[in-house]
Amino acid sequence: MSNRTSSGLVAGYYLAKKGIKTAIYERKLSAGGGMWGGGMMFNKIVVQTEAKYILDEFEVGSIEYQKDYYVANSVETVSALCYRCVRAGTRIFSLLSVEDVMIRENDRVTGLVINWSAVSLANLHVDPLAIRAKLVIDATGHAAEVCHIVTRKLGNKLATKTGDVIGEKSMWAEVGEKELVAKTPEVYPGLLATGMAVNAVFGLSRMGPIFGGMLLSGKNVADLSAYLLKNTSG
Amino acid sequence: MSNRTSSGLVAGYYLAKKGIKTAIYERKLSAGGGMWGGGMMFNKIVVQTEAKYILDEFEVGSIEYQKDYYVANSVETVSALCYRCVRAGTRIFSLLSVEDVMIRENDRVTGLVINWSAVSLANLHVDPLAIRAKLVIDATGHAAEVCHIVTRKLGNKLATKTGDVIGEKSMWAEVGEKELVAKTPEVYPGLLATGMAVNAVFGLSRMGPIFGGMLLSGKNVADLSAYLLKNTSG
Amino acid sequence: MSNRTSSGLVAGYYLAKKGIKTAIYERKLSAGGGMWGGGMMFNKIVVQTEAKYILDEFEVGSIEYQKDYYVANSVETVSALCYRCVRAGTRIFSLLSVEDVMIRENDRVTGLVINWSAVSLANLHVDPLAIRAKLVIDATGHAAEVCHIVTRKLGNKLATKTGDVIGEKSMWAEVGEKELVAKTPEVYPGLLATGMAVNAVFGLSRMGPIFGGMLLSGKNVADLSAYLLKNTSG
Amino acid sequence: MSNRTSSGLVAGYYLAKKGIKTAIYERKLSAGGGMWGGGMMFNKIVVQTEAKYILDEFEVGSIEYQKDYYVANSVETVSALCYRCVRAGTRIFSLLSVEDVMIRENDRVTGLVINWSAVSLANLHVDPLAIRAKLVIDATGHAAEVCHIVTRKLGNKLATKTGDVIGEKSMWAEVGEKELVAKTPEVYPGLLATGMAVNAVFGLSRMGPIFGGMLLSGKNVADLSAYLLKNTSG
Amino acid sequence: MSNRTSSGLVAGYYLAKKGIKTAIYERKLSAGGGMWGGGMMFNKIVVQTEAKYILDEFEVGSIEYQKDYYVANSVETVSALCYRCVRAGTRIFSLLSVEDVMIRENDRVTGLVINWSAVSLANLHVDPLAIRAKLVIDATGHAAEVCHIVTRKLGNKLATKTGDVIGEKSMWAEVGEKELVAKTPEVYPGLLATGMAVNAVFGLSRMGPIFGGMLLSGKNVADLSAYLLKNTSG
Amino acid sequence: MSNRTSSGLVAGYYLAKKGIKTAIYERKLSAGGGMWGGGMMFNKIVVQTEAKYILDEFEVGSIEYQKDYYVANSVETVSALCYRCVRAGTRIFSLLSVEDVMIRENDRVTGLVINWSAVSLANLHVDPLAIRAKLVIDATGHAAEVCHIVTRKLGNKLATKTGDVIGEKSMWAEVGEKELVAKTPEVYPGLLATGMAVNAVFGLSRMGPIFGGMLLSGKNVADLSAYLLKNTSG
Amino acid sequence: MSNRTSSGLVAGYYLAKKGIKTAIYERKLSAGGGMWGGGMMFNKIVVQTEAKYILDEFEVGSIEYQKDYYVANSVETVSALCYRCVRAGTRIFSLLSVEDVMIRENDRVTGLVINWSAVSLANLHVDPLAIRAKLVIDATGHAAEVCHIVTRKLGNKLATKTGDVIGEKSMWAEVGEKELVAKTPEVYPGLLATGMAVNAVFGLSRMGPIFGGMLLSGKNVADLSAYLLKNTSG
Amino acid sequence: MSNRTSSGLVAGYYLAKKGIKTAIYERKLSAGGGMWGGGMMFNKIVVQTEAKYILDEFEVGSIEYQKDYYVANSVETVSALCYRCVRAGTRIFSLLSVEDVMIRENDRVTGLVINWSAVSLANLHVDPLAIRAKLVIDATGHAAEVCHIVTRKLGNKLATKTGDVIGEKSMWAEVGEKELVAKTPEVYPGLLATGMAVNAVFGLSRMGPIFGGMLLSGKNVADLSAYLLKNTSG
């Protein structure tokens, strides 16, 4: 899984809980992306009632500040997501970037081509290595990096209207969140997406600074992955 | 209102005078954009007779140097625009950038998604916040940043010939100024433009270093905004 | 006068009121320095009772939020300082940097060597020009740029304990403000300082985000300049 | 407390456990510094027997790979330190930099002058704000940033042989770790240090990639702080 | 005329000789572009027999090193071109960039919109000024900057097959030189080109390091300009 | 030959062995490209049985670590390729970049337009020189720089499905290697390709970190070149 | 001679006139330094009566605008200096930097260690070459680069009060010019200086934008060099 | 051994020949430093008679172009040094930087603290690892990086006149080469130097572009190391 967002950490947690061996490749030094800074550097995040059970499962404190909206400390939330994800058994490898995907029979994604992030940051030319995987999840947020690699290398063949990454629309938080949870995030044979990457790939509305949809999306993609792994390899 | 130009300050002043609650989000530390430097760093600006009454209302001194053309000190002009705009009741928030617009029913612009300018300048990843507004005015000069966001996110649906931001034509000052004042600056439901942004959006001729059209455009968009707010919310 | 701070604008205003011909060379495009951003980008500044009369004279609104402390809008304050300074008759030339001072008989500072700021920002090599002045005021904040030029070019001959720019001490706002107002800001024959430059030159305590001392320092240096000009040239 | 290292998080945890109200100002977006990357980007850290109880208290898994040396996952460790630190009640404010210290009677450090990290990263000029504190802990690693501020502003008055920050010596891990734990980390009235900052300030030997001393140092500074707060304010 | 190449200097010389008032706006500090460095930093240039008379007229020494090819010192050549161009009466303004063209009736180019080069190099926002001209010559080399401005602002209306700047083809020196001299360099009403800009605009073959075509092209555009000025204004 | 990869060095070696006078222009200071760093900075490369004879011919040690796969030290391999290539008689000119190709009758590539790499790295403007060649080989890896120059200057006329550089597909090492060896690497009259440049030009699958195909491709292009040179010039 | 200023070109001219073989190594692409831009980018320079004969000898036009002060076009002046310098027989090598001096018996400077300027601009590591010379002249302006190399490599042994480069004092044009002309510019065995480098080395007053002293200094150093060469080698 | 120069490769070769297990940590991607570019990017190096036997041993061709001076191809030389060094049994690890030394009893250097070069190039904070070594050789050229670390960390205790790195003097090739070969390159207990690092540490004269001393120095340090290892560990 290629990760930069909180939905990736949630997915990693639930996948491990289901006994699925998962590795997260994190481009940055630390995991969790922008969630550390909350909204505009004010260290708070907001979660709706529907997703509060995930905060509870990760043992993150929250306060109901108006009906159906809970506020949590952003640093506590992101460190809890990361801690419990690793603790559950998923491995996070930091400072690793995805350069390409591996493709085999039927053009199915069967792994990732990775390299040290420091190599490209330092503008060096060093060859990457390849890692096999039964399923790949794109958790790179609105950049949707893995999905973009697929369209650039293999043509516009994603499971979207145009076959390409459509790009998220302007912000309409309630609609964006609902669309996100409703969407089946399988974007290509062997490749799923989660979190804002789903909004970007399918052209859904941008979500606001309310994080519930993100957390639920991580849970959903873990459930779908487990289903697919049982049925495709069975 | 997203601002970087003098027409935005003029608009802010007249909106406040009409009792309309207005907030200006200014990407830079200081307001007023390039007007501080006059033409080519020589601290003078020129205004025609038609717009001189605005200089007078802002208590900016000017001298008639040839028939129908008045010259003013650029530093005095821009600080007066800023001072009287705030003084009239409009709030200017500096170092805030517009990342996106909010959209709701009927794809109408209903607010802005803002973030600290320092966040992107420092290449950080921090989530933005959203602000509701009954009307949004794009006063970002020839960059027309808010209008560009709309076309990128929602497709070419602006009230122009192509639906897109057409881009200002080469300089023909007299024609550009006249076209600017004549144009109704409503570019999208909920979104107006003012100043050079109007020239850019509708593909009008570039204006010269004569600032009268800019000032009048700020006055015009304030009048139109007041009319729209009374009629749409009434 | 070489300027980057609000105390320079206050000094420019009072000098003009006294009928003294004053020019301010501002390194940046806009005047007023960091005051636009208030404290930590929250657009507020605080002024004590002693300095409130200056806010009143510049027609800047303020509210007493606790005994002896008034809060004002930072954008309104800085644009008012700039506007009224120019309006009073002082000329502000923006985008001009001070490269050196002119020295004549008795090593007295008799002018400034200036150049376009854009020249050094663009890393070009273009020769500067020289401007004569009866008195020079260093209003460049804690950088104390003009004073540093003097020590670098002429040796440690400033009117300080070491002869050098001592550097401001850590923050102790109340003490720093009192020391600033008490200090006679003549640092070298022909060269005065104002605002944080005084703290830096004489090694006074750093002032907090309370701006009263800055404003009073601008008033003081104007008074002292008028006195010196009358007595040295008389 | 100014933080960039794991010892700061450990200190924050134990301070909160003792009921002391603590705030951590973290310059980066995420907490934990270089610990995320383990040794040379291989995601492992090593801890000695003496410090293993801290891993256990933070519920971090570890394996004894040779006598007296335990290996742990670096991502699990750092997220656990951060999570449990916040969970215990200490507040972490990310993206905040320390620009200066506050000084009052007897030149005692009585607080910090802070600003958004994004402000200096973006090369903006915005004034900072000041925060009072009974005790300040420098947890900025071998940079020892707060201690350097004190010597730059107040002269060489630290509790070291030279009065200055001496700088850590070359690596001799066993000696460095022992010296660190043995050293009383009070460096100036009102200012303590922890972790590698202690090595840097007192010129101790550099520690290897073995993290036990770091963790113990965090525990020690918390104990000493509690003792000082009880005795100085009592 | 907007200049960065030796053909512009040749044109400036012959225009002045014909008594036509000419101004050259040079983006860099010094005129002459890459000719200072000769070929690959070896300070030599080569000129064919056909163009040798221009070297002679500018009093530049040259040696015949093989039949029909003369070699000259690149520094002598470029300084002679510049010196004799100014000496003949043409004014060169250095550090001035062309931002746009002026357009009036019939979309004819009637002048240039210029600004200090330092302004854009320093990333400042300062308004430009406009200069009227009866004819404009694009002498900006293979960048063909003025021609690109026209197509960007006014659409693909140049006197080329596509209406756009076609871009020079790969190197075939003999063919490129012949095509250049044969081509009538009028690219738009009011706008001519000279030197490599002609190759770029019309898609001619790239010329080698042999400079004869460049010099002849400067002479040609001067002749054509004189003809046009006599006939259009007459 | 324009070079940045190991296949270029192999080609240079075999060309010299056949008595063909060959020059390699290397953009960097040192030859061999990314092979120095092995896979992800771990100094090993892997070669299949089919290509092992090339390692043997260059006197590079290797160990069979699993059936049909041999591992070699990357630093030994790349320095051996470079050493034996020069030793065989091919000249390597380092720090030279290819800016353009020379074209003559029938649009056939007849040479290269080269310049010092330092010139463009230093952002200088200095004219290039031209070098004639009977055949040009693009050995610039997946950048396929020379082929890109041809399509940009001469239109989409390469010997590929689209006439353009298609771009390599995602990684499928076995398929990519086989396709590479099978492909006749003549891409344009007078222009061949070798190594990853072949994959990029013809849109073959990306090869993994297994280098056998690269080495064999260098051998192949040398054989084909020898054949062409004998038959076209004969 | 290491050059970046107009005095170097004047010296080169007079040296060639005396039949002395001279080479100028110019760090930049073009010669003449900041003189192209005149004062503050206004293309004019001023020369006093004493130096007007040099303008006349170089055939540069000038106008007396007030008693004893002549104004000339800066572009004409600098291109004339360069043209006549090369024309007289001195060779100018552009884009060459001086990295070090050669020293032999008696620590006398006996040559220069030079490298392509592009090499350091491009941050490459390439070894320099060495050039023998009977005399070296530092004409690098106020940077006094060659003199600085000597003090850094050989200790403070220059013919100045401190043995070091003292640095020019603040501007006092009349005094600076007189001191410059009066000073014998031999700074070290085998090393002379000219122009602003003399002011910098001996700590003379800075000259204003009046260029007479610069031109005379170039003439002086040529005379002194001729004298020394006749007497030391004779 | 920390390496960036050809003398390091020579030392590595002879150490391996003596059966001493040696590792070279190379900061760059490729080994050999500036030797790839020859003198001023002209791909030649010069070697004197005394050192020619080393060229012969490495099987590098050379031609006597004047008495006692042989010229060789720089690319052939550097790749031969690298190839035969690895081939002899020494391991070269590229992209590894030395951050510090390890010190133990008697302040003897007992190893190196290393990190990926990409980590600091990418401005990341990742902890280093430590490597034990019986002897360390500083082969970092005139930067003398390891020796500088020792003086910065342990004080001025090198075996030089000042105890510090003195810095190489200006160029006097013959003297520099002789001094280099004569000097015993033991600079600190456990730390030797080779090549230009010796010149830098002991303040010897700079060597010219003649490489014989460099090669001999590598041979010498290998001999000395073998002697020391036999006698200190025996």
| H98 in contact with chain D, both atoms CB, cutoff 8 A | no
Could you give the percent of chain B with pLDDT greater than 70? 97
Residue showing tokens 């790295």 = F121
Contact E31 G79 (CB under 8 A): yes
The residue in chain H having the minimum alpha-carbon distance to the alpha carbon of residue A127 is H29
Would you call H29 helix, strand, or coil by DSSP? coil
Predicted local confidence at residue C28, as pLDDT: 94
Predicted local confidence at residue A105, as pLDDT: 81
**pLDDT tens digits, one per residue of H68-109:** 999 999 999 999 999 999 999 999 999 999 999 999 888 899
Predicted local confidence at residue C231, as pLDDT: 86
Supply the ipTM of this predicted assembly. 0.94
Residue C228 clears pLDDT 70, i.e. is over it: yes
Determine the residue among E170, E206, E207, E210 to mutate to test chain F binding: the one whose Cβ has the most chain F Cβ atoms within 10 Å: E170
Residue E1 clears pLDDT 60, i.e. is over it: no
Predicted local confidence at residue C61, as pLDDT: 97
Q: Which band of pLDDT confidence, cut at 50, 70 and 90, is reported for residue H178?
A: confident
Would you call C34 helix, strand, or coil by DSSP? helix
| A115 in contact with chain F, both atoms CB, cutoff 8 A | yes
Predicted local confidence at residue D234, as pLDDT: 41
Contact A119 H117 (CB under 8 A): no
Residue C200 clears pLDDT 90, i.e. is over it: yes
Residues E35-50, mean pLDDT to the nearest whole number: 93
Residues B208-225, mean pLDDT to the nearest whole number: 91
Predicted local confidence at residue H177, as pLDDT: 84
Q: Do chains A and F touch (3 or more CB pairs under 8 A)?
A: yes
Neighbours of C156 (CB within 10 A): 12
**pLDDT tens digits, one per residue of E189-234:** 999 999 999 999 999 999 877 889 999 999 999 999 999 999 875 4
Predicted local confidence at residue B4, as pLDDT: 58
Q: Which band of pLDDT confidence, cut at 50, 70 and 90, is reported for residue A233?
A: low
Which pairing describes strands D169-171 and D205-206: parallel, antiparallel, or unpaired? Answer: parallel
Predicted local confidence at residue H2, as pLDDT: 54
Predicted local confidence at residue F234, as pLDDT: 41
Q: Which band of pLDDT confidence, cut at 50, 70 and 90, is reported for residue A1?
A: low
Which pairing describes strands A96-103 and A109-116: parallel, antiparallel, or unpaired? Answer: antiparallel
User: What are E122's two structure tokens?
Assistant: 């320093």
Residues A28-38, mean pLDDT to the nearest whole number: 92
**A131 Cβ partners below 8 Å, 6+ apart?**
A23, A102, A111, A112, A113, A114
Q: Which band of pLDDT confidence, cut at 50, 70 and 90, is reported for residue H233?
A: low
Q: Which band of pLDDT confidence, cut at 50, 70 and 90, is reported for residue A143?
A: very high
The residue in chain F having the minimum alpha-carbon distance to the alpha carbon of residue A153 is F169
Contact F206 A113 (CB under 8 A): yes
Q: Which band of pLDDT confidence, cut at 50, 70 and 90, is reported for residue C1?
A: low
User: What are H53's two structure tokens?
Assistant: 């036997």
Report helix angle B173-182 to B212-233, nearest 10: 10
Provide DSSP, D91-140: EEEETEEEEEEEEEGGGEEEEEEEEEHHHHHTT---B-EEEE-S-EEEE-
Distance CA A63, CA A46 (A): 9
CA distance G207 to chain E (A): 22
Distance CA D65, CA D46 (A): 9
pTM of the model: 0.95
- The number of CA neighbours under 13 Å toward the Cβ of B30 is 26
Provide DSSP, D15-59: HHHTT---EEEESSSSSSGGGGGTBTTBSEEEEEGGGHHHHHHTT
What order do you get walking across the sheet with E91-94 strand by strand?
E91-94, E23-26, E2-3, E136-139, E191-193, E186-188
**D31 Cβ partners below 8 Å, 6+ apart?**
A36, A75, A79, D3, D9, D24, D78, D82, D92, D94
Question: For chain C, what is the mean pLDDT?
Answer: 93
Q: Most confidently modeled of B4-8, C216-220, G179-183?
A: C216-220
Residue showing tokens 């821009």 = B78
What order do you get walking across the sheet with D96-104 strand by strand?
C205-206, C169-171, D96-104, D108-116, D129-132
Residue A209 clears pLDDT 90, i.e. is over it: no
Distance CA G129, CA E90 (A): 42
Residues B44-59, mean pLDDT to the nearest whole number: 96
Question: For chain B, what is the mean pLDDT?
Answer: 93
**H231 Cβ partners below 8 Å, 6+ apart?**
none
**pLDDT tens digits, one per residue of D76-134:** 999 999 999 999 999 999 999 999 999 988 889 999 999 999 999 999 999 999 999 99
Q: Which band of pLDDT confidence, cut at 50, 70 and 90, is reported for residue E34?
A: confident
Predicted local confidence at residue B207, as pLDDT: 84
CA dihedral G56, G59, G62, G68 (to 10 degrees): -10
The residue in chain B having the minimum alpha-carbon distance to the alpha carbon of residue E112 is B171
The residue in chain E having the minimum alpha-carbon distance to the alpha carbon of residue G90 is E76
Q: Which band of pLDDT confidence, cut at 50, 70 and 90, is reported for residue B173?
A: confident
Q: Do chains B and C touch (3 or more CB pairs under 8 A)?
A: yes
Contacts of D104 in chain C (CB under 8 A): 172
Predicted local confidence at residue A234, as pLDDT: 41
- In terms of residues, how long is chain C? 234
**pLDDT tens digits, one per residue of G101-155:** 999 888 899 999 999 999 999 999 999 999 999 999 999 998 999 999 999 999 9
Distance CA G188, CA G197 (A): 13
Q: Which amino acid is present at E212?
A: G
Which pairing describes strands A69-73 and A44-48: parallel, antiparallel, or unpaired? Answer: antiparallel
E runs forming strands in chain A: 2-3, 23-26, 44-48, 63-66, 69-73, 91-94, 96-103, 109-116, 129-132, 136-139, 169-171, 186-188, 191-193, 205-206
Predicted local confidence at residue G51, as pLDDT: 95
| A89 in contact with chain D, both atoms CB, cutoff 8 A | no
What order do you get walking across the sheet with D23-26 strand by strand?
D91-94, D23-26, D2-3, D136-139, D191-193, D186-188
Predicted local confidence at residue E3, as pLDDT: 58
H-assigned helices in C107-187: 117-121, 145-154, 173-182
Residue showing tokens 């074209």 = F103
Contacts of D32 in chain H (CB under 8 A): none
Q: Do chains C and H touch (3 or more CB pairs under 8 A)?
A: no
Contact H86 F76 (CB under 8 A): yes
Nearest CB to D116 within list A31, A41, A82: A41
Contact B141, B197 (CB under 8 A): yes
Predicted local confidence at residue C234, as pLDDT: 41
Q: Please, which chains are in contact with E (at least 3 CB pairs closer than 8 A)?
A: B, C, F, G
Residue H234 clears pLDDT 50, i.e. is over it: no
Higher pLDDT, C50 or H3: C50
**pLDDT tens digits, one per residue of F146-204:** 999 999 999 999 999 999 999 999 999 888 888 888 888 999 999 999 999 999 999 99
Nearest to A117 by CA among A99, A98, A97: A97
**pLDDT tens digits, one per residue of F193-233:** 999 999 999 999 998 778 899 999 999 999 999 999 998 75
**pLDDT tens digits, one per residue of B58-68:** 999 999 999 99
Q: How far is CA D59 from CA A57, D16, D52, in A?
A: 17, 17, 11
Residue B234 clears pLDDT 50, i.e. is over it: no
Q: Which band of pLDDT confidence, cut at 50, 70 and 90, is reported for residue B3?
A: low
Distance CA H146, CA H150 (A): 6
| C132 in contact with chain E, both atoms CB, cutoff 8 A | no
Residue C4 clears pLDDT 80, i.e. is over it: no
CA dihedral G179, G183, G188, G189 (to 10 degrees): 170
DSSP code, position H194? -
